[in-house]
Chains A and B, each alone.
Chain A
Amino acid sequence: MGKLFDSRAIQFEGFIYDRDVYPRGPGYDPAIIAEGLAPITEIEQRGMDQLSDVDLEILSHKLTCVVEEAHDVYQELSISEAILTGDMNTGILTASGDPAVVATGIYFHSMLNCAQAKYILRYYKDDPTLGLKDGDIYFFNDDFAGVTHVYDMFTTMPIFYRGELVAWATCGGHQGDTGGMAPGGHAALATSRFEEGLRVPQLRIGENFQIRTDILDYLCQAVRNPLVFASDLKARVATCLRIRDRLVAEMDRRGPEPVVGGMRKLLSRAGRLARERLAELPDGIFRAIIFTDNLGRELGLSRIPTTVFKEGDELTVLVNGVSPEASCGAMNATWHLVRAALGVYLFSYFFRGLPPNAGLLEPVRVLVEGPSILNATGEVARGFGTQTAACVVQNLHIIGSKIAYAGGYEESVTTPFSRNPQLYLYAGENRRGYQQANISTLGNAAGQGAQFDRDGESAFGFYWGACVDSGETEALDSRYTNFRLARRVECNAHGFGKYRGGAPLAEVSMTYGPKGCLMTGAGACDKVSQNPGLFGGYAGPTNPQVVIRNTNVRELMARSDPRLDFDTAHDLLVNRPIDGDYQFRSSSTATEQFNHGDLFIENVSGAGGYGDVLEREPQAVLEDVRSRLITREVAEKVYGVFITADGHTIDVGATAEKRRAIRAERLALGKPFAEFIKEWSRKKPPQAILKYYGQWPDPRVESYDQPFWGIYPKA
């Protein structure tokens, strides 16, 4: 550990920080999951010695071609909505089980589908009932064994060359339904892992390159949509076989040693480059904190603090003082999920420009206090732990942006993509007569973060990864049970700032048909946003679940009533042109029946803003109003910008006056830091929402009366 860490960090006694807190069980071993890159093998070393940088460059391109082709194959063959839209991953692991090359919509998958291969090597390979041979096919989806959550399903196959294990092909993604309590998966209200459905640590489902029919039948029987399950499983096997064929052909061309050596060298090189980048950046201790407000069955606060020690060429992410695990829902995360999730930020932003593979995490140490909501024990539900793990990522994003700004990497300085979680899972019969149960794709139309020099783009992609799309209405209408009435970039739904965050797409959809449909909600941020701003920018707003029951929308539609000429979902909710029972409620809801004409309103909020709102060019504010991104009220009250009655120009005088007034108001509110701390420390939320929080204010220290940063001793 570094000097800063040794002198300033506190790790509470009795907690585990550097691995999953749950013990080894049948089919899983937290010690394996926590292992870093495997030692370099002899054959890898020989191959590495043979490869020049030029050879490695060419090999890297070749392996990328292989996984990109596999990515295309997987998407072409699958029928799960999330796979179709890119929530998936294909990759090649080294023979030891480390992820060397990936093509992905979601980066974190590439670090959550490798511990299983290591487990097979450690415990199954020499088991006389199993062994390991060419043509074996393994399936897994159990978060105990190292994946995200049970809704992500993977297939992996060992690749042999002339009798030697040389690599693993792997592919998988979010498939959805597991036969758990919520049709379509993501049961936010599950309180035990046994309510989350199918759970397979790693199961050999085929030999000799073929899936065993009896096992396929068993797995299909365990879920609600067996045809989708079987279709996607076949797609994954075909994808793994494609990777195998191409890799073997490459070994035929080059020989196996340079290929396996090259894969290992790619990891080593990424690690070296990450260290070099870190060494350029300023040392220090950085902190950020987020609160989550929805624990599944109950609303309540949990505390997710993050401290980063940047020392030399290493980065330590310490998550301590975190709330305990929650037994009232599925928001509990795992150490390995937090670690992998951090990769999403690090690969895309902090280490921007470096080759994205697991080697980049080599100088990054992740310490997550457990048992806690972020490093949970064995029995609680964890299917929606992604939402809690993401809070650490948001913290790291804000911290990383500050480090990058100070270090001169301005293009890495952004607010995060918006991700206030709000999942709607629809189930029922679609209008082509098929049973359907899956998440909507709207989370893939989140706002891009504001940047140091410009606004974020609206409805731009998915928080967790690039190349994930939100679909087209006509196809969605034919595939889903609900029917879309509007998909518009939402008004007043992003973080304001000198540069604003990207706004989300908001969807208004309707239950359609006499059978209606089922809908389950999973989410948070009903009261507290998790889309932070940066350097004074506003956070993106909160977004509770909104449904409108018993509406007259069908009658209005039948006569093409002008009341349906509402502009955005914001306009609908503010002016209520449709009659009905408007319900603003917890994002996490049980599965409910909805009837023909009931409406759903969905969005993941917008990204946070960058910089002070008073520094935003008035002309840009005018353009925001004109393009319906904000209302005049926001322009005036937040930005201090007044627009003339015709809506075309700035009222320069009124604007200057308003901005002067806002600045004066701010100054009047200013006070010495110590005074603020004293006042702030006396505040306390109602006890009702602290039920799962732990001790107030620090969940781990009874009656501790210092704020977050106070738990660290002075240097």
Chain B
Amino acid sequence: MIAIGIDVGGTFTDVVLSRDGGIVTAKAETTHYDLKAGVFNAIRSAADQINAELNEVLSAASAIVYSTTVGTNALIERRGTRLGVITTHGFEDAIMVGRSSNWADGLPPQAKYDRGRGRRPLPIIPRDNIVGALERIDNLGQVLMPLNETHLHTKIQELVDRGVRGIVVVTLNSFVNSIHERRIAEIIRSDYPECYLGHLPVYLSSDISPQMDEYRRAMTVILDAYLREVSEDHLLRMVEDLREGGYRRPVFVAKNTGGISSLSRTQALHLYGSGPAAAVMGAAFLRNLTGCDSAVIADMGGTSFDVGLVGAGAETTYEQNPIIDRFRVQIPIVPHWSIGAGGGSIAGLENGVLKVGPQSAGSNPGPACYAMGGENPTVTDADVVLGFVNPEYFLGGAFRLDPERAHDAIKRKVADPLGLSTAEAAWNIKRIIDGIMGQEIYRLSVYRLGQDPRTLTMFAMGGAGPVHATGLADFADIRRILTFPFSSVFGAFSTLTLDLFQSYEKTLVATLYAREHGGHKIDGIERINQEMRGLIDLARRDMSEEGFEMESVQLKGEAMLCYRNQRQTLQVPMPGLTLAGHADVKQLCDAFNTAYAARYGEGAVFKEVGIELLALRLIASVPTAKPSVAHSTKRSSAPAERKGTRKVFWGPALGFVDTPVYDREALSEGSQLEGPVLCEGKDTVLVVPAGWDLRIGVRDLAWIDKRLSPAAAGSTQ
């Protein structure tokens, strides 16, 4: 049995083969002209490692899970389908204006405050392609103004004349009453039937995202429709290629909701950011495997620093209104946070003070030491100057760095103006970037997870993650770090840990608790249950298409609750899929009060004001076979053999110190090393300062622990 996980990234295409004996990993350059070439090169490379042919591996594979950035790239380049929008007349500007201040969505903090020079993002749909229908439904679903069909026909014709290739319909309050949206769809389909060339696909907001708030609902549907054609074309081609290569089973795609599904059950928007979402779920899998309580992912690459959180227990945290590109949408995704930090973050003086990031040299021209034209000093340059990164062994020696350029850039632009030595300047660059990253992790851990960071394990990933892990851990109050040999292909690995998954959301306003009306209220139960049954029907439809009977599907209901009139909700598990009566309502409300107190403090609880349900959510999942991360075959009690020593700058107090260097690949289970020490691998360097210990555990996992004083050790117990 072979399962293949594929993750197509901007630079590399990663593949993980999972089979009974463990996993095999491979990388190939991403071939942007035709992604298939990179994918097949990577699979072929993995096949070589098990002495098999490409078609043998594909024929033997029982599952392929594919994670792609095709939607991301199409959105950045604005290469999606030319669409038109029909909305309620009078609100044609709502998509452009949004909430006014949402122009700042997706921008770094300092840019959000620069309102004098702020700009809106390039629109997905030109304003001319948005028309209004004469109709109006109120927030309770009552039709105030019937749809004027004569007027509508002229508006549809306007869109057709502009050459649109699909129409999004998003009318006000359609999430309560979709009668007008459905009628508009009927009219379009009647005018442009599917049996003729040039028919117009119609996307209804009440189908795709039946939730309150028209800007976010519209952007959800628009982005989904915009990316559908380009995503579908790509995926269908890829499936065809894989079939030609010998693969016979369905191809699953990874989704940003933290699961997989077949193509026919996947919305295009769910592909966006599926890689980082998969990484969070993969980390949850590893957390269970290693017995950690909670974990934080610190993925530091050349151009970005991504943080993901894995809380204690089985519940996954979702972001209800995430930002995609520069637009806020309504799909609940497994969140990750990108922070403007990475190996390419530029260091420089601003008003005489050293700043690092968020500007990045990117991968081209990249850091000065890449010798590709970059002249600005970066974090990677600092790592080279400090001795953490071996310029001769970057990416296992595949890419040689120029230490002189790194030294020169830091000296000219930081050290000399500040009157510091180059090493001290580099050390300051490292401290600032570590501080920013560590403090951001602390903020997210305590706020989003509500957990003491001292109980977290940091999963350090990416080429620069293990280099900076101990440095930023000090700022995050984290004391344990885990790195693993397949971290450089963790995205591909993670795709194999995902369950078959669908989620459904529906806005529904119901009062569950009102003190002035005698406490818990059950008069809304039937409506709640009716909506939930509707979501279950959708799950039945989709899972049946996937080939599963409902008996094998795990269903979980969640309610979005808030105190009366609040806008922000908390996600609370339903006692059952439907509510049976007073006791269930009380249990739901109690769970909400408890969750609220845990997040905001006991004093913030205010049930007297009333409790409302604002939305329902249903999650349907089918567990999949998980990858086998085999125990290491090598185990040695003998001390690990040094590769050599290198002068490493460990701060102004210690200066350059001869530091032992080990080969990460040569270390085996049971190896233990005390910091200061460096362990070089092909894709990263494990930097272990004094006061930290490195231990290689089962499955070749590397644990880096802070040595605690007895008092500190006791404080976490």
Contacts and interface: CB of A to CB of B under 8 A. Distances in A.
A58 B431 contact: yes
Interface in A68-84: 68-69, 72-73, 75-79, 84
Interface stretch (A190-198, A228-236, A315-323, A576-584): A228-236
Contact of A489 (B97, B443, B565): B97
Interface stretch (B11-19, B145-153, B184-192, B400-408): B145-153
B566 interface: yes
Contacts of A75: 568
Contact of A468 (B101, B119, B428, B568): B101
A18 interface: no
Given A459-B93, A474-B214, A557-B136, A467 B604 contact: no
A469 to B, nearest CB: 4
B309 to A, nearest CB: 15
A474 B173 CA distance: 6
B112 A466 contact: yes
Interface in B568-621: 568, 600-601, 603-604, 606, 609
Interface string A472-483: 111101110001
A253 interface: yes
Contact of B92 (A237, A352, A488): A488
B241 to A, nearest CB: 43
B567 A475 contact: yes
A486 interface: yes
A234 B117 CA distance: 36
A473 B609 contact: no
Contacts of B102: 469
A565 interface: yes
Given A77-B604, A468-B101, A486 B172 contact: no
Nearest to A235: B604
Interface string A434-475: 100000000011001101000001111110001111111111
Nearest to A59: B435
B556 interface: no
B104 to A, nearest CB: 6
Interface string A203-229: 000000111000000000000000110
A273 B353 CA distance: 11
Interface in A266-280: 269, 273, 276
Interface stretch (A35-43, A411-419, A665-673): A411-419
Contacts of B128: 626
A434 B564 contact: yes
A540 to B, nearest CB: 16
Nearest to A449: B116
Contact of B140 (A269, A411, A431, A626): A431
A396 to B, nearest CB: 14
A234 B603 contact: yes
Contacts of B564: 79, 227, 231, 434
A53 interface: yes
Contacts of B115: 348, 417, 448, 460-461, 466
A411 B173 CA distance: 42
A627 interface: yes
A209 B91 contact: no
A445 B603 contact: no
Contacts of B473: none
A473 B94 contact: yes
Interface in B417-468: 428, 431-432, 435-436, 439-440, 442-443, 446-447
Interface in B472-522: 475, 477, 509
Interface string A231-273: 1001101100110001000000100000000000000010001
Nearest to A236: B604
A392 to B, nearest CB: 18
Interface centre among A54, A276, A461, A474 (most CB of B within 10 A): A474
A483 B173 CA distance: 12
A451 to B, nearest CB: 7
Interface string B92-108: 11101111111110000
Contacts of A432: 509
Contacts of B440: 65
Interface centre among B101, B128, B435, B563 (most CB of A within 10 A): B101
B447 A72 contact: yes
Interface string A549-581: 000000001111010110000000000000000
Interface in B378-434: 428, 431-432
B120 interface: yes
Given A58-B439, A77-B604, A466-B101, A231 B609 contact: yes
A487 B94 contact: yes
A76 B568 contact: yes
A146 to B, nearest CB: 24
A432 B564 CA distance: 10
A241 B435 contact: no
A150 B510 CA distance: 34
A54 B100 contact: no
A461 B100 contact: yes
B327 to A, nearest CB: 13
B137 to A, nearest CB: 10
Contacts of A637: none
Interface string B544-571: 0000000000000000000111111000
Contact of B353 (A57, A64, A466, A484): A57
Contacts of B145: 557-558, 560, 564
Contacts of B90: 484-488, 508
A138 to B, nearest CB: 15
Interface in A512-568: 512, 557-560, 562, 564-565
Contacts of A468: 100-101
Contacts of A564: 89, 134, 145
Contacts of A209: 603
Interface centre among A417, A564, A626 (most CB of B within 10 A): A564
B89 A489 contact: no
B603 A557 contact: no
A356 interface: yes
A103 to B, nearest CB: 9
Contacts of B104: 466-467
Given A348-B116, A487-B91, A472 B215 contact: yes
Interface string B129-151: 00000111011100011111011
B87 to A, nearest CB: 10
Given A84-B567, A477-B139, A627-B127, A467 B603 contact: no
A470 B148 contact: no
B524 to A, nearest CB: 13
Given A348-B115, A471-B99, A57 B442 contact: no
Contact of B97 (A84, A412, A445, A466): A445
A354 interface: yes
A84 B119 CA distance: 23
B644 interface: no
Given A472-B216, A475-B213, A457 B118 contact: yes
Interface of B: 89-94, 96-104, 109, 112-120, 127-128, 134-136, 138-140, 144-148, 150-151, 172-173, 175, 212-216, 350-351, 353-355, 428, 431-432, 435-436, 439-440, 442-443, 446-447, 475, 477, 509, 563-568, 600-601, 603-604, 606, 609
7 contacts: A58-B435, A65-B443, A69-B447, A79-B563, A348-B116, A472-B98, A473-B91
Interface of A: 53-54, 56-58, 61-62, 64-65, 68-69, 72-73, 75-79, 84, 86, 209-211, 227-228, 230-231, 234-235, 237-238, 241-242, 246, 253, 269, 273, 276, 348-349, 352-354, 356, 411-412, 414, 417, 431-432, 434, 444-445, 448-449, 451, 457-462, 466-475, 477-479, 483-489, 505, 508, 512, 557-560, 562, 564-565, 626-627
Given A460-B120, A483-B138, 16 more contacts: A57-B432, A57-B435, A58-B475, A68-B443, A241-B603, A253-B477, A276-B351, A352-B114, A434-B565, A466-B115, A472-B214, A475-B567, A488-B91, A489-B97, A508-B90, A558-B146
